[in-house]
Amino acid sequence: MSELKLSSQQLAAIAGEFGTPVYVYHAEKIKAQYERLTNAFSGINAKFFYACKALTNINILRYIKSIGCNVDCSSVNEVELAIYAGFERKNILYTSNNIHFSEIERAADLGVNINIDSLSNLEKFGKKYGHSYPVGIRLRPNIMAGGNLKISTGHAKSKFGIPLEQIEKVLDIAKQTNLRIQNLHIHTGSEIKDVEVFAKGMEVLFEIAHYFPELEVLDFGGGFKVPYKSDEEGTDMELLGQKMKEEFEWFENKYNRKLQAWFEPGKFIVSEAGYFITKVNVIKNSNGTVFAGVDSGLNHLIRPMFYGSYHQIENISNPAGPLNLYNVVGNICETDTFAEDRELNEIREEDLLVFYNAGAYGFEMASNYNSRFKPAEVLVKDGKAQLIRKRDSFDHLLYNQIELADL
């Protein structure tokens, strides 16, 4: 993991001030990740759209904008959040999946970049807008890659995008409705370490790019891997940037056309900038297993149970304690294991456990299951910790419910 980290002392102070469980985000780390991207791809004409599905707190969106990054949205509600955060429409990208055409019309009314992922919506779009609204097409590249099946999106059985083998149909629709296809898009999956997978995606797009005379952009989606374990490596961005430069140069020379590259990184930008702090409620010994039960659960961080994801955990209250094996578990009414047989410094009740890589798809996937409150969120910028979302309160549990009088 890289050096730019919040210290245990800072995290403990935040837990003391704002309580637990709490998500903490480190602004400067977000910026460093964005800068690593812009440096790695400086050899090509690249534009980055933060996939805000990873974390949509309005302050994070505004910070992302302030560092010069653009935004990718997966629902029209995210588009509206992005507009509310102050992004210019041309810097907002809307990449949807299996949505009703009316939502695409809404995005077009808002004037943002749109990627369409089905033939039927493409045809409707062509009939309504013809040449007047440049559009992108999400293709399914038929490449199997990604950290696990749930987050693999480009393979031949996936629901995402227009299958590559239907490209003739895309061209028919484009011709019949006089579409202006500006962008070809793929998103192969999340947590892809292997640079060759991105190279293969590039190959797929370059092979068909010349069919689209008005094409300006190749959009490679997101999916860069970040390290989750201390001895693990993420995608080699610098190598990928170099490879892309070579491929783009080859294409430009062969076809005498210049294209822009778009990327939609989510995890890469915010995962490592996030920490989730919990407090240990109960230590339980059972037939040789020691459970450390924390004041959280799969309702707050679902990734371990849903994807089998690994999050590094540290006992910041007892960093010099002897190492023991623990099952770190939650307080929810079904099995919610964060970590099994994990070696950690001796855990005592009331100790603070920090989960790393909690910036992406952490708070964003949290729920009120068991009528528990969603955690607070804190942003650390210039060394100063500020609350950016209050912990839920009882009102949130009843919000939007209609209490019938005659029961």
Nearer to ligand LLP, 34 or 224 (CB): 224
Q: How many C-beta atoms lie closer than 10 Å to residue 66's C-beta?
A: 11
Q: What one-character DSSP code corresponds to residue 298?
A: T
Q: How far is the CB of 22 from ligand LLP (least distance, A)?
A: 19
Count of residues touching ligand LLP (by CB under 6 A): 20
- Cα angle value 97/299/360 (rounded, 5°): 55
Work out whether 266 is an interface residue with ligand LLP (CB under 6 A).
Answer: yes
Q: Out of 27, 30, 37, 54, which residue is the one contacting ligand LLP (CB under 6 A)?
A: 54
Q: Which is nearer to ligand LLP, 108 or 305 (CB)?
A: 305
Binding span for ligand LLP by CB under 6 A among 17-25, 195-203, 262-270, 373-381: 262-270
Binding-residue pattern over the window 183 to 212 for ligand LLP, x denoting contact by CB under 6 A: ----x--x----------------------
Measure the CA–CA gap between 37 and 54, rounded to whole angstroms.
Answer: 17
Q: Looking at 21, 126, 154, 223, which residue binds ligand LLP (CB under 6 A)?
A: 223
Query: CB–CB of 68/388 below 8 Å?
Result: no
Is residue 222 involved in binding ligand LLP (CB under 6 A)? Answer: yes
- The interface region with ligand LLP, picked from 29-37, 56-64, 264-272, 276-284 by CB under 6 A, is 264-272
Q: Contact between 307 and ligand LLP (CB under 6 A)? A: yes
Of 34, 41, 63, 268, which lies in the binding site for ligand LLP, with binding defined by CB under 6 A?
A: 268
Q: Is 51 in the site for ligand LLP (CB under 6 A)?
A: yes
Span near ligand LLP by CB under 6 A; candidates 202-210, 219-227, 278-286, 318-326: 219-227
DSSP alpha helix (H) spans, 223-263: 237-255
Among 140, 267, 300, 372, binds ligand LLP (CB under 6 A): 267
Q: Which is nearer to ligand LLP, 21 or 359 (CB)?
A: 359
Alpha-carbon distance of 205 to 346, in angstroms, equals 52
Residue whose CB is less far from ligand LLP, 293 or 297:
297
Burial of 235 per CB tally in 10 Å (0-12, 13-18, 19+): buried
Contact 223, 189 (CB under 8 A): yes
Stretch that binds ligand LLP, among 75-83, 162-170, 215-223, 290-298 (CB under 6 A): 215-223
Those residues whose C-beta lies under 8 Å from the C-beta of residue 288, and which sit 6 or more positions away, are none
Using the rule CB under 6 A, give the single segment among 18-26, 207-215, 259-267, 291-299 that binds ligand LLP: 259-267
Among 361, 366, 378, 385, binds ligand LLP (CB under 6 A): 361
Rg (alpha carbons) of the chain, rounded to whole number: 23
Catalytic (active site) residue 73: no
Q: How far apart are CB 365 and ligand LLP at their closest, in Å? A: 6
DSSP one-letter code for 16: H
Distance of CA 355 to CAs 221, 312, 352, 389, Å?
A: 27, 6, 10, 19
* Closer residue to ligand LLP (CB): 141 or 293: 141
The vertex-278 CA angle with 30 and 293, nearest 5°, equals: 140
Cβ count within 10 A of residue 35: 13
Contact call for residue 264 and ligand LLP (CB under 6 A):
yes
Ranges within 142-171 binding ligand LLP (CB under 6 A): 151
End-to-end CA distance of the chain: 56
DSSP 53: G
Exposure of 392 by Cβ count < 10 A (0-12 exposed, 13-18 middle, 19+ buried)? middle
d(CA 131, CA 109): 16
From the list 52, 69, 73, 333, the catalytic residue is 333
Q: What angle do CA 51, 85, 394 make, to 5 degrees?
A: 90
Q: What is the DSSP string of 264-296?
A: --SHHHHSTTEEEEEEEEEEEEETTEEEEEES-
Stretch 83-102: interaction string toward ligand LLP, x if CB under 6 A: ------------x-------
- Contact between 113 and ligand LLP per CB under 6 A: no
* Residue among 75 and 318 whose Cβ is closer to ligand LLP: 75
By CB under 6 A, name the binding residues for ligand LLP.
51, 54, 72, 95, 151, 187, 190, 221-224, 264-268, 303, 307, 360-361
Supply the residues annotated as catalytic: 333
